[in-house]
Structure 1
Amino acid sequence: MASTQSRDAVLEDHPQLLPASPTSEYIHSSILSLSILVVFELEIPIKDSKTITLLRDQFLPINTRFSSTLVRDEKGAQSWKRVDINLEDHVKVPHFPTGLPPSTYDDYLQDYLTKIALDRLPENRPLWEIHIIKYPTSNAAGTVVFKLHHALGDGFSLMGALFSCFKRADDPSLPLTFPTKNPSLKSHWKAEAWKKVSNIAAGCWYTASDFVQSVLHGTVLEDDRTAIRSGTPQLEFEQFTISTVTFSLDRIRRIKSKFAGTVNDVVVGIIFYAIQLYQQRMGQVTTGRRMTASVLLNTRMVNGYQSVNDMLKEKTWGNHFGFLHIGIPSCSNADKENPLTFLINAKKTIRRKRQSLAVYLTGRLLQMLKTIGGPED
């Protein structure tokens, strides 16, 4: 309570300060600092002469957080503070050797992404950067990388912000739009409410069991040591390398239509199957081993793309997500398993988890612990 009163007093003395959300505080601390890399691959060479103008006229006005820093009061509570911004400090243009083949620039790009992923964003300026790579790779004539701190918002918010800066290729006078078939927020909420009422008994059981499981995983339960979990202390601070793999979205859509699933079901199922194949290649049998994945869940009551204006109007901008703890299925011989089995299991598990309110209870619990122990705890 004292911490809350302290923050309220600070905000009254400094009306330009806006309190950071609890989630933003969790992912921006002395222990944890999460950033998102958004990579745009362009079909034509980059001309960066209009970069500053685009950032000033279109990007910064989207949200005041893009021209604010996070400051802490004497209790450690964080707030957003508007600052003067020098856009040149946020634009990075790396220089590689010239005249190399695109495949070589693939390696340079991968190394560069790894480097900027490890670098912590400066605290004395707004928490974002744009990196312009003018060298042709195997996939693009040029590459633009946005690095944005997760405290600014989740992927849903930040992608909406970046898309709002673009125009349609067929008519540059019009903003970028996406087709949508989702119902309104109100009707979606009614459908979800009716669904939960009709399954109230199962929902209560799932909520209780998932909440207990989530608390245990966060405190006493540990996954077994495997090829994907070494158990090495402070592994998150070790050097790592970013590598990519590309899947055709059209193929994923065709796959999901085969078993009436979602794109998310397909992606999760593919990852689970790949984990089994990897561990088998590493000479490990996964049968009987406890392995758990944290699957990101969008907690907004929307289904589909929202423009920035819609997010600001309906107050869905920011970090609105939770994590579902999902057990990774095991098998004795991944080469003999039908990959579709992993997709179907992922679909069933995620749908069952969506009937649970454990993700919201876990968020409340974290908020209570933050109030008692402070933001850094």
Structure 2
Amino acid sequence: MLGGWLGVGIYAYGNWIVCFYRVWVDGCVNVGVGIEKNGKKQWKKVEVKLEDHVKTPIFPSNMSNESYDEYFDDYISSIATKRFPQDKPLWEVHVIKYPNSNAAGNVIFKLHHALGDGYSLMGALLSCLQRADNPSLPLTFPSRLPSETKSENVVTKTISSLLSTISDFWWGISKSFRGEDDPSPIKSSNHGLEFAPITISTITISLDRIKLIKSRLGVTINDILTGMVFLGSRLYMQEMNQSSREVHSTALVLLNTRFMANYASTEEMIKPNSKSPWGNRFAFLHVPIPKLTEFSDVLDFVWNAQKIIKQKRNSLAIYFTSGLLEMLNKFGGHEAASRYVHSTLKNSSMMISSMIGPVQKMSLANQPIKGLYFLVVGTPEELDISIVSYMGKVRLAFTAKKGIIDPQKLKLCMENALNMISNAADKNSMQNSTEEQSHI
């Protein structure tokens, strides 16, 4: 849906997938570049020279893991500010053979968003990976049972969907063209931040802990994580600037528009008329970030996230937005569509993207993978949050513009938000249990 214009001009958005290993050994890895012919953009096959794409940085020897943490962070920030060469395929692999606090080694796949979205690229990565315990068995993923929905009158449901579609579509257009969020500690008034230096911080949460909160509140895992991010963001904004309690802030939640249950293999995605086709097939959901003054209970952040995201997912606005982008692309060219996407991102305070990872430990070239996360870089907003599950854990990665957002304070506020939601869920469960016993 978006592949034609995500690589236009300066808007060189990129997907990164970072894998880190328990142990490390040496290992190795016909593509194409985008060209314009007779006014039409198309792919052209080219010869690939591995030395142009596979990078192995040299750090000082015999340093502590903490020192290598700094080198690793600085290296990621440096390659994030570098554009892809326009005469070469839009991908790089960075092999870092130095231990740090997380693992014995790291591999970074830097891939231009024009090649595909997170689903496509994660599917391609998983096609190269195996189960560490038994390579002959397929990787499996957490079950995603549909949540129970209350039966509604067909007429009522149709009218509600129609009104939501009109409201969401109009609000989305307004936000993209002239509805920039208020300045805040997570949204500056600076422009041209696509290639500004970044900082990356991560937190890891036990999936069992999230499931316990889920069972006590009757919501989804995504509802809890989104509520945590919203509450954590507001706590950070309040700590950094008390007056920011009342500012208007919006999050863009990325939604995969494919009809699929699990990831498809690369072979399956590139088949004609595939149900899970390769490419960019996603849409933005504009979700207002609730203010701390709006709720008296922290659990309202979770329930509000559940309500508004469910409402917007049932809206048809994402398909109208897709049609709008196609019209912009057809009548205004790739640049017009690219400017619209860029304006949508720039006017928001943050972007949230989540993906489901395997349950079992994976291996690449017989090397066990301790963990992984993905990032989106080269975007104009100050904060991007990516979420991925793997081996019973959920990892949140925060990509923030350096000098604008304090990564350690943001991380602490997110952890505090989860603790607050967890404690409130415990009290809510105990209260409900007491009330049930009183009725017996």
Is 1:94 matched with 2:94?
no
Partner of 1:323: 284
- The 5-angstrom pairing of residues 1-377 of structure 1 reads 23-45=2-24, 47-48=25-26, 50-51=27-28, 55=29, 67-73=31-37, 75=39, 77-172=40-135, 174=136, 176-179=138-141, 181=143, 199-313=157-271, 314=274, 315-332=276-293, 338-377=297-336
Report the AA paired with residue 24 of structure 1.
Answer: G
The alpha-carbon distance between structure 1 residues 238 and 167, as it changes in their structure 2 partners (threshold 3 A), is closer
Report the AA paired with residue 146 of structure 1.
Answer: F
SS in 2 for 1:227: coil
Give per-residue Cα distances to partners, 1:108-130, cap 9 Å, x unaligned.
11111111111111221211111
Give percent identity, aligned residues only: 42
Instruction: Quote how far apart the aligned CAs of 1:341 are.
Output: 2.4
The alpha-carbon distance between structure 1 residues 329 and 182, as it changes in their structure 2 partners (threshold 3 A), is closer
SS in 2 for 1:374: helix
The one of the two structures with greater contact order (alpha-carbon pairs below 8 A, sep at least 6) is 2
Report the AA paired with residue 51 of structure 2.
Answer: E
Which of structure 1's runs of 4+ aligned residues deviate more than 6 A?
A: 194-198
In the aligned structure 2, how far is the partner of 1:265 from the partner of 1:73?
Answer: 46
Instruction: Quote how far apart the aligned CAs of 1:220 are.
Output: 2.1
Count the aligned residue pairs: 329
In the aligned structure 2, how far is the partner of 1:176 from the partner of 1:123?
Answer: 37
More strand by share: 2
Give per-residue Cα distances to partners, 1:183-202, cap 9 Å, x unaligned.
9xxxx9xx9xx999882211
In the aligned structure 1, how far is the partner of 2:191 from the partner of 2:164?
Answer: 32
In the aligned structure 1, how far is the partner of 2:236 from the partner of 2:171?
Answer: 27
The alpha-carbon distance between structure 1 residues 333 and 288, as it changes in their structure 2 partners (threshold 3 A), is closer
Instruction: Quote how far apart the aligned CAs of 1:293 are.
Output: 1.0
Segment drifting more, 128-137 vs 313-322: 313-322
Instruction: Quote how far apart the aligned CAs of 1:357 are.
Output: 0.9
Give per-residue Cα distances to partners, 1:35-71, cap 9 Å, x unaligned.
11111011112x22x31xxx3xxxx6xxxxxx11111
Q: Superposition RMSD on alpha carbons, in Å?
A: 2.6
Instruction: Quote how far apart the aligned CAs of 1:362 are.
Output: 0.9
In the aligned structure 1, how far is the partner of 2:218 from the partner of 2:33?
Answer: 44
The alpha-carbon distance between structure 1 residues 305 and 78, as it changes in their structure 2 partners (threshold 3 A), is same
The alpha-carbon distance between structure 1 residues 170 and 243, as it changes in their structure 2 partners (threshold 3 A), is closer
In the aligned structure 2, how far is the partner of 1:93 from the partner of 1:37?
Answer: 16
Give per-residue Cα distances to partners, 1:250-279, cap 9 Å, x unaligned.
333333333333332222212111111111
Instruction: Quote how far apart the aligned CAs of 1:80 are.
Output: 1.5
- Is the 8 Å Cα contact of residues 130 and 147 (structure 1) preserved in structure 2? yes
- Is the 8 Å Cα contact of residues 33 and 43 (structure 2) preserved in structure 1? yes
Instruction: Quote how far apart the aligned CAs of 1:286 are.
Output: 4.1
The alpha-carbon distance between structure 1 residues 104 and 81, as it changes in their structure 2 partners (threshold 3 A), is same
In the aligned structure 1, how far is the partner of 2:241 from the partner of 2:126?
Answer: 44
- Relative to the length of structure 2, the TM-score reads 0.69
In the aligned structure 2, how far is the partner of 1:178 from the partner of 1:296?
Answer: 23
More helix by share: 1
In the aligned structure 2, how far is the partner of 1:262 from the partner of 1:349?
Answer: 13
SS in 2 for 1:209: helix
* Gaps in structure 2 of 5+ consecutive residues: 337-440
In the aligned structure 2, how far is the partner of 1:319 from the partner of 1:363?
Answer: 11
In the aligned structure 1, how far is the partner of 2:193 from the partner of 2:107?
Answer: 29
* Gaps in structure 1 of 5+ consecutive residues: 1-21, 61-66
Report the AA paired with residue 71 of structure 1.
Answer: I
In the aligned structure 1, how far is the partner of 2:144 from the partner of 2:304?
Answer: 26
Partner of 1:15: none
In the aligned structure 2, how far is the partner of 1:343 from the partner of 1:291?
Answer: 17
- Is the 8 Å Cα contact of residues 37 and 117 (structure 1) preserved in structure 2? no
Segment drifting more, 312-321 vs 78-87: 312-321
Report the AA paired with residue 210 of structure 1.
Answer: D
SS in 2 for 1:246: strand
The alpha-carbon distance between structure 1 residues 103 and 338, as it changes in their structure 2 partners (threshold 3 A), is farther
- Is the 8 Å Cα contact of residues 180 and 304 (structure 1) preserved in structure 2? no
- Is the 8 Å Cα contact of residues 196 and 355 (structure 1) preserved in structure 2? no
- Relative to the length of structure 1, the TM-score reads 0.80
Segment drifting more, 195-204 vs 280-289: 195-204
In the aligned structure 2, how far is the partner of 1:312 from the partner of 1:180?
Answer: 25
